[in-house]
Structure 1
Amino acid sequence: MNRIIVLFSFSLTFLFCQDVNINGRVLDIEKRSPLIGANVMLEGTAYGAATDSKGGFNISGVPDGDYTIIASYMGYSTHKESISIGTEKSVEIEILLETEAIQMDEYVVTASRRRERIEDAPAAISVITKKDIRRESNTNLGDYLKGTKGIDFTQSGIDSYNMTARGFNSSFSSRLLTLTDGRMANVPSLRLTAYNVIPVSFEDVEQIEVVL
């Protein structure tokens, strides 16, 4: 009699500890279209899968317990959801993802009005965005250009400074072309640019481009 009870208890333990399969689909929340190649995984574990051509996935051999399932796809917000796995053989789940804007680095393409040799074309462009201007809130243009690659900044007074590009000495600094909205920013009578009078607040300037 005792032997039968032991075997019966072992059988119950086996039933309660069997692994479970998680099946489901990952869809676009608006179009309800399948997302192919989305990553689905259980947080903190090695269990995971990628969706097929119909947006379906299968994660097999998962022990019972509480998990957080994570689904991610390029251009969509990452989805997290808590699930509990009990004695059932399989779990069905549908995951809906929302589109998300991706902030990428800014690129500037500049074209000349005439054909030119590639060695004469601009080699590098740095952009100081309106967000950078708002964050730093400097009082003059030179302060924004201090950390720009290829620009040497020398300050000789509170509001007096010189800027040179690509290692040219100060005798060539007047050759730096400065444009404001496409127009020459220099003082005609002096043939130089008064950087200290150019407005640089985020309300007046959208961005600053340095072309070297």
Structure 2
Amino acid sequence: MRNANKMTLLGAMLMTAVSAQAFNVKGTIVDKTTKEPLIGATIQIEGTTTGAITDIDGRFELSNLKGNNCTLVIQYVSYQSQRITINAGQKEELVIALAPDTQTMEEVTITARKNLENERTLQLERQRSSVAIENLGAKEMSVKGISNVEEGVKKITGVSIASAGQIIVRGLGDRYSTTTLNGLPIASPNPDNKLIPLNLFPTSTVKNITVSKVYEANAFADYSGAHIDIGTKEQTGEDFFSISFNTGGKFNTLGREMYRMDHDGTLFKTPSLNSQLREMSLTDFEDYARKNTLFNTSFDVSKKNA
């Protein structure tokens, strides 16, 4: 009986020693289709922080593992993960093949628009254009205090405006140029002039102005001076409100003598004639004008320094 107990105790001690013995795991991670090694794949023992990363040949090694077995979790980007249970008595190296994780995505459409109001963007448009063009954006017109398209065109090299409002390009008059709105031709309201009055377009509605002084394939060939295209802003559907106020002066008048006539009213208010005077007869009106001041002023001239 004592011998039997001794044998049982000895067997238990031997099993404990075997179970406590550490073991190693080696292997290679490859692509299931091409059989090429996968560099940088991660191998981690499930439930622990112990793991390894495959080298340039796709090989890995885990040392001093405790217990009778362990579960390896193998992961790699764009590949399906695997879980493999390894026993302590396994000696041969592992060859683990990962299958690509193929997924079909829905169609994605990406839409981008160029900001053709920015001065930098318009400069790139001039550089990439196959013809010689000049352009002016909404932001530049806002900085320079331009109120309409006619004033903006005068800022472009080679373009001038005559006293009658007609455009002159390199000495060529109105009949040698053409105007389009967003690339589409528009008729002039004046039968004597070919171009429309450009002061009809306020800069608040204009995105950019493009002036081409050479022939283009996408424009009508009925001009030899310039082709002026007015691009309008796009309606975004959002409410907006804007207000601006501009003022100016000349420094060469400061401290100089100036003559000023007496007047009634201010910069924002001007005097008006009494409405009852308009209903008077000519005789009564002349008599009233001799005895009374019509506009609350004597029109006297005074001198003062600016």
TM-score band by shorter chain is 0.3 to 0.5
Q: TM-score, normalised by structure 2?
A: 0.33
Q: Rg: which structure is higher? A: 2
Q: TM-score, normalised by structure 1?
A: 0.45
